[in-house]
Amino acid sequence: MSRPQSLVVVSPQAWRVLMSPVRTEIAEALRCGGAMSMSELASATGRPADSLYRHVELLREAGFVVPAGFRKNGRHIEQLVDVAADDFLLELNDAQGEQENLAVVDTVRSFARATERAVRDASRARELRFEQGSRNISINYEIGWLTPEAFQEVRALVRRLKSIMDEGKRKREGRMYMSFVVATPVVRKSRRRSGPRKGATRGKPHAKAATAG
């Protein structure tokens, strides 16, 4: 049975259920691999099956995961689960709401932890490649000024990256990769009220870029 293309989430509380690092990995594994049994989900996430049951149940209660039938495996009958949609979209109406802002913070924290775990595991397995021509990891960190028009260019690039990754989910060719990109306003605590100090140069960011790959 095909999934809906997207599920719009308007509740910050529901979204924060999804944004546990473990539950994020469960949902993404199902998005990539389709309906799975608990043992298959454990293999796909690299976590013990016993540790996943409660997380899957919380996702089901929040509407992110649905039952997907049963499958015979030898003498056993396995229940399958799947994500409720190909994509989850967070739409918040209250830009100043505390819960809304916390939901976004939880999103970044969850994705960052999942990315850190993926890099760490690849490093421990000696799967990272740095040689010219075979490099398989790319890292970039920047602080700079963007006009509204330039920010929209950045958003367009992020959407393009997403479309490439989504195409990879459908084709399942090559090897599995993870990407995580954030573009956010920067607020320095010492300057929230005072603004830029007199005579400050605005042409260069105060932090140098760090790029690998």
One DSSP character per residue, 67-124 reads: EEEEEEETTEEEEEEEESSS-EEE--S-TT-HHHHHHHHHHHHHHHHHHHHHHHHHHH
The pLDDT confidence band at residue 208, using thresholds 50, 70 and 90, is very low
Question: Strand, helix or coil at 212?
Answer: strand
Rounded to two decimals, the pTM is: 0.73
What pLDDT is attached to residue 201?
Answer: 47
The answer to whether 154 touches 146, Cβ cutoff 8 Å, is: yes
Which is more confidently placed, 98 or 156?
156
Check whether 5 has a pLDDT greater than 90.
Answer: no
Interatomic CA distance for residues 130 and 37, integer angstroms: 36
26: enclosing H helix or E strand: helix 21-33
Question: Can you read off the two tokens belonging to residue 130?
Answer: 């740095």
58: enclosing H helix or E strand: helix 53-62
Check whether 101 has a pLDDT greater than 70.
Answer: yes
Q: Model confidence over 152-168: pLDDT tens digits?
A: 999 999 999 999 998 98
Check whether 204 has a pLDDT greater than 50.
Answer: no
Q: Model confidence over 116-130: pLDDT tens digits?
A: 989 999 999 999 999
Counting residues of the chain whose pLDDT is more than 70, the rounded percentage is 87
Q: Model confidence over 163-182: pLDDT tens digits?
A: 999 898 888 899 989 999 99
What pLDDT is attached to residue 97?
Answer: 78
Interatomic CA distance for residues 97 and 111, integer angstroms: 22
**Average pLDDT over all residues of the chain:** 86
